[in-house]
Structure 1
Amino acid sequence: MAPESQQTDRYISFSGIACDANADKLVAILEHHLSDQHGGNEWVNYFQKKRAEQTRMGGDNLHFIGNQLNPLFEYFQACGDEEADALLYQIEQECL
């Protein structure tokens, strides 16, 4: 992770930006919420279907997040998970 005094800029370089690690962390948070059935069956079914598509197509977690950005923001807000919401915003700003 980049030192706090170091500014990151995705348009200059992805160096120092933990895009894959942050994407993996966010998907782990998502999986935890889904396994606990947060958000109800509609959200759980939606993301289970999208994760299965990701696996079938061989996409990584960063690609998944990029494709599901708006639903993920809505889902984490519905779950009241401010940490996940902040991490998702960070990924959007730094990596997508």
Structure 2
Amino acid sequence: MQSTAAKVDRYVTFEGIECDDYARQVVVYIRDCLADGDRPSAWQDYFERKLIENAGMGQDELFLVGSQVNYIRELFEHYQHAEGLDLLDKIEEECC
């Protein structure tokens, strides 16, 4: 008999879903993109400002990612950041 792991349903519980960890990693990826001086993005200033504002308001990374998901997607697409795009999809599916 084959065992199948049950998928966690965010509408039931966030237990077992590492949303905060995922969001922290997305912010790391955003910072990596911003540090790429060879291919600056039109989103550079925007995200530098948003990261400062988010910290100043005392908001966590999940708040930032959840409220900026479409803009983050554009940033990651600009940098062809496949890992960032995959993780962003995972956050949208599991955490938002």
Q: TM-score, normalised by structure 2?
A: 0.88
Residue equivalent to 2:7:
7
Per-residue CA shift, 1:31-84, capped at 9, x if unaligned?
111112365253211100111110111110000001111100111111111111
Q: 1:10 to 1:75 in 2, by over 3 A?
A: same
Residue equivalent to 1:16:
16
Q: Which residues in structure 2 correspond to 1:21-40 (within 5 Å)?
A: 21-37=21-37, 40=40
Which amino acid in structure 2 is aligned with residue 69 of structure 1? V
Residues in 1 aligned to 2:56 and 2:38: alpha-carbon distance in whole angstroms: 25
Residues in 2 aligned to 1:39 and 1:70: alpha-carbon distance in whole angstroms: 20
Q: Which residues in structure 2 correspond to 1:6-85 (within 5 Å)?
A: 6-37=6-37, 40=40, 42-85=42-85
Runs of 4+ in 1 over 2 A off after TM superposition: none
Q: TM-score, normalised by structure 1?
A: 0.88
Which amino acid in structure 2 is aligned with residue 28 of structure 1? V
Unpaired stretches in structure 1, ≥5 consecutive residues? none
**Higher normalized helix content (fraction of residues):** 1
Unpaired stretches in structure 2, ≥5 consecutive residues? none
Which amino acid in structure 2 is aligned with residue 6 of structure 1? A
CA drift at 1:21: 0.6
Is the radius of gyration larger for structure 1 or structure 2?
Answer: 2
Q: CA RMSD in A?
A: 1.6
